[in-house]
Structure 1
Amino acid sequence: MNTINKTTLVWWLGCILLWSASQAQVADEFQKQLNQLKTYENLTLAKVMVVGTNHFKKDVLTPQKQTDLKRLIAALAQFKPTKVVVEWNPKKFDETNQNYRAYVAKKFSIRQKPNEVYQIGFRLARQMAHDTIWLFDNRPAFIGSLEGFTFDKFLGFADKHDKGFYDKHLKTITKVWNYNKALMKKLNLYDYFTLINSDKMSQVNAQRMHAFETRVGIRNTWMGPDWLGRWYQRNVRMMSNVLKIARKGDRILIIVGDNHKWVLDELFKNAPDFEVVSSGEHLLKYRKK
């Protein structure tokens, strides 16, 4: 009986070894095929860094904020951008660049102009000795369920048609929003930019839009999904505007509202023409220098 058991055991062990060897061969063959897959990485034209910002108000003109801005711009300059891109429509290209050239020539003052296009874009481009400011915004029309869109109308629709959902999700979103806003108020301008450009903040912004917008008007007007779809559409067009101006070897720095950052980063990562450089990691790197 023991002899039979030993023989059986040896037979089973042999079967297991043969099966393991065959599986290893299959895995090796799969890995070989996987390694041979061709990608589009050889199409890369340029590096791109998306710098999210709040839309500046007059308080950015105070002496302390101006000091912080100089520090921020010095850090961004370490990226060595060959093009600076701002969140204005290309239709304003001629006017914007006329003002930029006058600014470089000290004939156009930005001292009382709080907009981030001036306070970051113009100053950074001048520091890098650029002769051009690039523009890339594009806002698709509000059509279909979004015709006549306002955020008050959007919230009113959600409140009227799905009160339970509206209360639950809006309270959650507002609670997180207010908590994060209180945290950010404690930061100087440089650290504020480092935080809003972090991967974690990009995740927060993306989750907020997908937690609420996607649910408003389901099986009714589809207002929420249509709004989020328009947001993607706008950012795809913006990315395409950058693609149009990109040249081999470019290092493109984009200044844009921080809620655009999460979607633009993903779009640029999926476009083989670009290599994305993390603005959050870049600012963190130069934070103590």
Structure 2
Amino acid sequence: MRLVYLLLFVLSSSSTQAQTAPLRQQIDALFASPKPQVLLLGTFHFAGERVDANTTPAYLRVDIRSPSRQAQLGEVIKRIARFNPTKIAIEASPNAKQYIDSVYAAYRAGKFRGDKRVSEEDELYQLGFRLADRLGHRELFPIDAPPFRIRFSPVDSLTMFTKYEHQADSSFAFWDQQYTTYAKLQDSLKYHASVVDYLRFLNTDDTQSRSIGRWLVTTKRGTNREPIGADGFISRYYNRNLRIYSNIQRLITSPSDRILVLYGNTHLYILKHLIKASPEFELADTMDYLN
């Protein structure tokens, strides 16, 4: 009897698959049109990590201009160039487009060696300019964005936010210490690894998900009625990355576009989530080019 039931189950499953397969194909066909490809490359700040809150100690800062690091960086550029991007998007304000165009033109002419805004150690100079020049690009595209500036409603007042500033929760202190240790280990890994090996580490799913973990611990600040932690995360972190994503959308001029996005790795978890979910883009696998 059990054999009969098993046979009926198999036949029923086969029949269901035969009926649903064409429907699934129709569903897939709705989203199968040619799409621009996007390659996301998460980077660290080449200029010694002196621009963010998590500043690298001086003795662990990478000298990107040393002969060994230049050779390693050259290998990265060679690998990423295989993506053959039509546009390179960078972590800079769109308000700086004219300035970046001018210094990049000077760079291509051999007349720019860095200034106060774009140093020779900067990843924009060392990676963005060098890669764009290798590919014959005439410009780069700044896509950075500030977070939304909250206008408080009466129920979401500034007073309501500040009253939870010192809310007791042992997990905040615990995870803050864990992530402080994690940052120190990252600094050591970055110093001892080659540039390509460290970029491989940065661009793994685990590393990119951990990059927002520190802030997700804080989302439980407040109460069920006044969820200020969640609101702060949405308005400051998620909102900023959604704005960056919208700037990528506006770069598209053709289904054959291939957009390379060079960005600080802490942004990549959200950006990857948005690009992957979008019906407008095809997300390229970064490891196909780093390995």
Q: Answer with 271-280 or 176-185: which moved more.
A: 176-185
- Per the TM alignment, residue 214 of structure 1 is displaced from its structure 2 partner at its CA by 2.0
2:208 and 2:268 in contact (8 A); partners too: yes
1:228 aligns with 2:233: yes
What residue in structure 1 maps to residue 285 of structure 2? Answer: 278
What residue in structure 1 maps to residue 276 of structure 2? Answer: 269
Q: Answer with 71-80 or 25-34: which moved more.
A: 25-34
SS in 1 for 2:64: helix
Whole-angstrom CA distance in 2 between matches of 1:118 and 1:139: 22
1:242 aligns with 2:248: yes
Whole-angstrom CA distance in 2 between matches of 1:119 and 1:179: 24
What residue in structure 2 maps to residue 81 of structure 1? Answer: 85
Whole-angstrom CA distance in 2 between matches of 1:119 and 1:16: 63
Mapping of residues 168-247 of structure 1, within 5 Å: 168-210=174-216, 212-219=217-224, 222-230=227-235, 231-246=237-252, 247=254
**TM-score (norm. length: structure 2):** 0.79
Whole-angstrom CA distance in 2 between matches of 1:205 and 1:128: 31
- Per the TM alignment, residue 157 of structure 1 is displaced from its structure 2 partner at its CA by 5.6
Q: Tell me the percent identity.
A: 26
- Per the TM alignment, residue 137 of structure 1 is displaced from its structure 2 partner at its CA by 0.8
2:43 and 2:262 in contact (8 A); partners too: yes
Whole-angstrom CA distance in 2 between matches of 1:118 and 1:165: 40
Q: Decide which of 112, 131, 135 is 1:128's aligned counterpart.
A: 135
1:97 aligns with 2:101: yes
Whole-angstrom CA distance in 1 between matches of 2:247 and 2:113: 28
- Per the TM alignment, residue 265 of structure 1 is displaced from its structure 2 partner at its CA by 1.1
What residue in structure 1 maps to residue 60 of structure 2? Answer: none
What residue in structure 2 maps to residue 47 of structure 1? Answer: 37
Whole-angstrom CA distance in 2 between matches of 1:135 and 1:238: 10
1:45 and 1:248 in contact (8 A); partners too: yes
Whole-angstrom CA distance in 2 between matches of 1:78 and 1:15: 55
Whole-angstrom CA distance in 2 between matches of 1:194 and 1:245: 26
- Per the TM alignment, residue 220 of structure 1 is displaced from its structure 2 partner at its CA by 6.8
Q: Rg larger in 1 or in 2?
A: 1
SS in 2 for 1:28: helix
Mapping of residues 114-153 of structure 1, within 5 Å: 114-143=121-150, 144=152
**Residue segments in structure 2 that go unaligned for 5+ positions in a row:** 49-62
The code of the aligned residue for 2:220 comes to R
Whole-angstrom CA distance in 2 between matches of 1:68 and 1:80: 20
Residues 198-248 of structure 1: per-residue CA shift (max 9 Å, x gap): 2231232244443x1322334475342123213222112211211111122
What residue in structure 1 maps to residue 54 of structure 2? Answer: none
- Per the TM alignment, residue 42 of structure 1 is displaced from its structure 2 partner at its CA by 3.4
Mapping of residues 144-163 of structure 1, within 5 Å: 144=152, 160-163=166-169
Whole-angstrom CA distance in 1 between matches of 2:227 and 2:29: 37
Whole-angstrom CA distance in 1 between matches of 2:111 and 2:13: 74
The code of the aligned residue for 2:111 comes to K
1:66 aligns with 2:56: no
SS in 1 for 2:92: coil
**Residue segments in structure 1 that go unaligned for 5+ positions in a row:** 1-8, 148-152, 285-289
CA RMSD of aligned residues (A): 3.0
Whole-angstrom CA distance in 2 between matches of 1:71 and 1:13: 60
1:48 and 1:254 in contact (8 A); partners too: yes
